[in-house]
Structure 1
Amino acid sequence: MADYLKLFQDSLKGLDTKFAGNQILSRIEAQTKLPRSYVIVGLVAVYFLLIFINVGGIGEILSNFVGFCIPTYYSLKALKTATSTDDTQLLTYWIVFSFLSVIEFWSKAILYWVPFYWFFKTVFLLYIAIPSFGGAQLVYTRLISPFSDKYLPIVEGKSGELAQKVEAAANNAKASGYSR
């Protein structure tokens, strides 16, 4: 137990160090006489509490905000790196996030009745968004990849046929004198 307490205290010290130059947190620290790490932990706790309680439907927007902002930050950082490892992880995240969004859109009436759905969704999004957890890769490998491996060749074949038909129709229209 003492090890966890020390780890937590070290994490708080790390937050204090990381946000040492933040003027807003400095003002709050001066007014409240609390270390800035306590303020950060408190704000995060309130954020999750609002999602958990979901007063006025705010849980949905806060959950989607987390699901968009954190991966966007990592994506912008990944664009500036030379390796493709982080790109792969983030592309996997965005595939999982998109898949979840589509499923959620069509089942929103059912999800409305699931208690604390937005809280669990937020935790799940954090799990798949933060690269060190590797959650996006796991979800993709176990759930989405088997589905896409089965149906992607069919979609690719049909899209090729469709492209040929569109091209033929365009050529026919052009040959018959159609112009804009």
Structure 2
Amino acid sequence: MGVLGALARHLDSLVGPGIMLLYPLYASMRAIEGPSSLDDQQWLTYWVLYSLITLFELSFWKALQWLPLWPYMKLLFCCWLVLPIFNGAAYIYETHVRRYFKIGQYVSPVYSERQRKVLQMMSLDARKSVERFIETHGPGALEKIIQAAEQEAKRA
């Protein structure tokens, strides 16, 4: 049991860097170069969560020394975050983070209250596109679109 026991005891040290750093680094680079933003969300969220785990470890390292299973729990959690079959980082973002933490809630007061409500419901990218549309066609064009959408919603 000597070699296998040593491998089992140091599994987190042997496998951890590949799963927690190398593969996410490679996948992040592919996501940057790829056209889809879905994988960007997965990997940005992973790096935020990995940073939080690292900060937690640095802050509570004395207490974590007393937990012999901590490195394995961290390895399993990071596997769940990283592996494409689970996409744990994207899951955490969708179910927990997105609901409580929205960047870009502020909308300029130059818009009417109704227009601000519509703009606040949009993603940041969609809002930028609508604001460019407003710059090109004027604020009246947005109002016409909102009225048309309300009429369509009433019919449905």
TM interval, short-chain normalised: 0.5 to 0.7
Of 88, 97, 101, 1:149 maps to 101
**Residue 9 of structure 2 aligns with which residue?**
53
The alpha-carbon distance between structure 1 residues 145 and 113, as it changes in their structure 2 partners (threshold 3 A), is farther
- TM-score, normalised via structure 2 length: 0.53
Question: For 1:55-74, what per-residue CA distance to the aligned partner results, in whole angstroms no more than 9, with x for missing partners?
Answer: xxx84575345311111111
In structure 1, the residue matched to 2:83 is 130
Q: Deviations over 1:78-137 (max 9, x none)?
A: 122111110111001111111111111101111111122111211111110123312112
Of the three residues 63, 67, 70, the one matched with 2:20 is 67
Structure 2 residue runs of 5 or longer lacking an equivalent are 105-156
Alignment counterpart, residue 85 of structure 1, candidates 22, 38, 47: 38
In 1, the alpha carbon distance for the partners of 2:35 and 2:94 equals 25
CA distance in 2, matches of 1:143, 1:49: 38
* AA in 2 matched with 1:95: V
State which of 85, 92, 111 in structure 2 corresponds to 1:139. Answer: 92
Gaps of 5+ in 1: 1-45, 154-180
Query: Quick check: which one's helix share is greater?
Result: 1
8 Å contact 1:89–1:131 — kept in the other structure? no
* Structure 1 counterpart of 2:58: 105
Q: TM-score if structure 1 supplies the norm length?
A: 0.46
1:21-60 map, 5 Å: 50=7, 52-54=8-10, 59=12
- Report the Cα offset of residue 144 of structure 1: 4.9
> Given that residues 19 and 82 in structure 2 are in contact (C-alpha distance below 8 angstroms), is that contact kept between their aligned partners in structure 1?
no
* Larger CA deviation: 80-89 vs 115-124: 115-124
Count residues with an aligned counterpart.
Answer: 101
Identity %: 26
1:53 is aligned with what amino acid? Answer: R
CA distance in 1, matches of 2:46, 2:25: 10
* Pair 99,53 (structure 1): closer, same or farther in 2 beyond 3 Å: same
Query: Equivalent residue of 2:51, what SS?
Result: helix
RMSD: 3.0
Q: 1:138 to 1:116 in 2, by over 3 A?
A: same
